[in-house]
Amino acid sequence: MTIKLACAPIAWTNDDLPELGKENTFEQCISEMSLAGYQGTEVGNKYPRDPNILHKYLDIRNLEVASAWFSAYLTTKPYEETEKAFIEHRDFLHAMGAKVIVVAEQGHSVQGMEDVPVFDGKPYFTDEEWKKLAEGLNKLGDLALEKGMKIVYHHHMGTGVQTSEEVDKLMELTDPNKVFLLYDTGHLVFSGEDPIEFYKKYSDRIKHIHFKDVRQDKAREAKENKWSFLKAVKEGTFTVPSDGCIDFEPILDLIYERGYDGWIVVEAEQDPAIANPYLYHKKAKSYIDLLLLNKQLKYK
C-alpha cells in the first residue's frame, strides 16, 4: 500500500478561468509544489506537452506526473472524435509514467459557463445518452488497458454525472474491469453527497483521489443565489484540506482500511491573488502529513 501526495496546478493558474493566475508561470507552479514537499503534479494548460521537455523540468524537482484531465464528448459527438483525442492524451501520460487517466464527460456540461446556475442548469442525460456514455467509456477503458493504464471517471459539478445517483447509474452501466472512479471530496460535499458513504460503496473502483475542501457558507450561497460553477470558484467555495468544513480524518481511515494504493491530489481552485497557492498547499501538506502519520501508526 503506497499513498503519494500530488498537487493540481489549478490553484496557481486556472484552466477554466484564465484570468485567475495568468501572471503565474509554469516554472513557479512546479517549483512551489516541490518546495511545499509534494511528490507529484497533475498537468495544467501551461505545461509543455513534449514528454522529453516536461521530464527535464519535473525530474530536477523530484516531481512525477500523477494524471491529467481529459474532456470526453461521448454524448454529443461521434465516438471517433473522442477516441482520437484520447489516444493522443493517453500516449502523453504514458510517456510521463502516469498510471491513471482522469476522464469527465463534457457533453451538455455547464461547468465552463459563467451565466448558468450550477445546480438548476446542470444537464440530465437521456437513456440514449447514458448508453453512448457507458459504451464509449468501456472502449476508452480498453484503450487505456492497452498501455497498462486505467481511466478514472471524475464526477463533477455542472455535468451529467454529479450526484451519487448519477454515479450509481454510471457504475451499473460500465464494466468494472474497464471503468474506474476518481473520488473528489469537494465535488461530493458541494453537490450535497455523503463522502463517507460514497467511499464505502465504491472503494473497489476508486483508483485516484482528489482532496478538496469546501467553505460551507459559500456553498450555501452558491445554491441559494443560483451561482454558476465558475462564480462559485471565484467566490472561494473551494479551498485546501484543513481550511473548510470537511473532516478528512474519517475519510483517511477508510482509505487505509480499504487498502487504497495511489495518488491523493490536493486540488483547490481559488483566486491565487487572494489565496496564495504555495502557502495554502504547504498548509494542506502539513495537515495531511500529520493525519497520514497517525494512520500509518494505527494500521501498521
The model's pLDDT over 216-252, given as tens digits with 9 standing for 90+, comes to 999 999 999 999 999 999 999 999 999 999 999 999 9
β-bridge mates for residue 65, sequence order: 41
Query: What local confidence, expressed as pLDDT, does residue 117 receive?
Result: 98
Tell me whether strands 213-214 and 238-239 are parallel, antiparallel or unpaired.
antiparallel
Instruction: Kindly report, residue by residue over 108-135, the tens digit of the pLDDT.
Output: 999 999 999 999 999 999 999 999 999 9
Cα 265 → chain centroid:
7
- Separation of alpha carbons 57 and 89, rounded Å: 19
Average of per-residue pLDDT values in the chain:
97
The C-alpha atoms of residue 72 and residue 255 are separated, in whole angstroms, by: 28
Q: Kindly report the number of other CB atoms within 10 A of residue 250's CB atom.
A: 12
